[in-house]
Amino acid sequence: MSQENVEIVRRIYEAFLRGDSDGPAQLFDPEVELHGTVGGLSEGSVARGLQQIRRVFEEWDTEAWDESRLEAEGFIDAGDRVVMLQHELRRGKGSGVEVESDTAVVFELCDGRVTRIQGYMDRVSALAAAGLSE
């Protein structure tokens, strides 16, 4: 089942890049939670349900950034978890300041659906949270 989990996360990511938030809806548990990025500005926040999660992403992109690019660099199978390694490039709204970072997101899955999403500014912390080492 774990390789299937990697493919589920990959499909969600590809849909996200296309701006398709409806296509992968069936791949999320109705009670899915998005936890704020550990080490980031949103740490400690929680959005519950797909509708709230969509709102978080819409607000984040329109309020803080003129440009936001995410590039997946790999998907790591961790059983009921998948770690997505990514490179982020963002340009601040108004300031024009560019920020680049290598981050990670841990997706937890149950029965073929994502139940929890947790971002990490630090990849080593993400791997440890998924029960893996670097």
Domain residue spans of the chain: 2-17+26-129
C-alpha 114/C-alpha 109 separation (Å) is: 4
CA 10 to chain centre: 11
Span 63-88, pLDDT tens digits: 667 777 889 999 999 999 999 999 99
Q: What is the mean pLDDT of the chain?
A: 90
Domain 2-17+26-129 coded CATH 3.10.450.50: yes
CA 27 to chain centre: 14
Q: Tell me which residue of 57, 70, 75, 124 sits closest to 100, measured CA to CA.
A: 70
Strand order in 28-38's β-sheet?
46-48, 28-38, 113-120, 98-110, 81-92, 65-78
